[in-house]
């Protein structure tokens, strides 16, 4: 997955998810299936969960990370591809 580091929060309205919230996995998958922009906070996990990486990569999301807070990932859906 390609990650872009930025100095400021990307523009747009992001659904917020934290791994500290019960049921975050189901909510995350629901938002990905709806192709919604997502602000994802995975603190205190040591790494971004593999299932998160796989889901956003398969759906063509961009991963944008704040340079000063690398626990925060902003997943931005790419253009819809027609098959």
pTM of the model: 0.89
**Helical H segments across 1-83, by residue range:** 24-33, 50-58
Q: Which pLDDT tens digit goes with each residue over 60-82?
A: 999 999 999 999 999 999 887 65
Please state the domain count of the chain: 1
pLDDT band at 2 (very low <50, low <70, confident <90, very high): confident
Give me the pLDDT at residue 83, please: 54
Tell me which residue range forms the domain holding 48. Answer: 3-77
Assess if residue 83 is contained within a domain: no
- Output the domain CATH number for residue 31: 3.30.110
Distance (Å, rounded) from C-alpha 52 to C-alpha 43?
14
> E strand or H helix at 70, and its extent?
strand 69-77
Assess if residue 54 is contained within a domain: yes
């Amino acid at each position: 997955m390609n990650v872009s580091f930025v100095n400021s929060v990307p523009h747009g309205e992001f659904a917020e998810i934290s791994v500290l919230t019960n049921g975050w996995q189901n909510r995350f998958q629901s938002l990905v299936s709806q192709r919604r922009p997502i602000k994802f906070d995975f603190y205190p996990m040591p790494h971004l969960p593999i299932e998160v990486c796989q889901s956003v990569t398969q759906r063509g999301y961009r991963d944008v990370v704040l340079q000063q807070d690398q626990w925060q990932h902003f997943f931005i859906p790419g253009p819809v591809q027609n098959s």
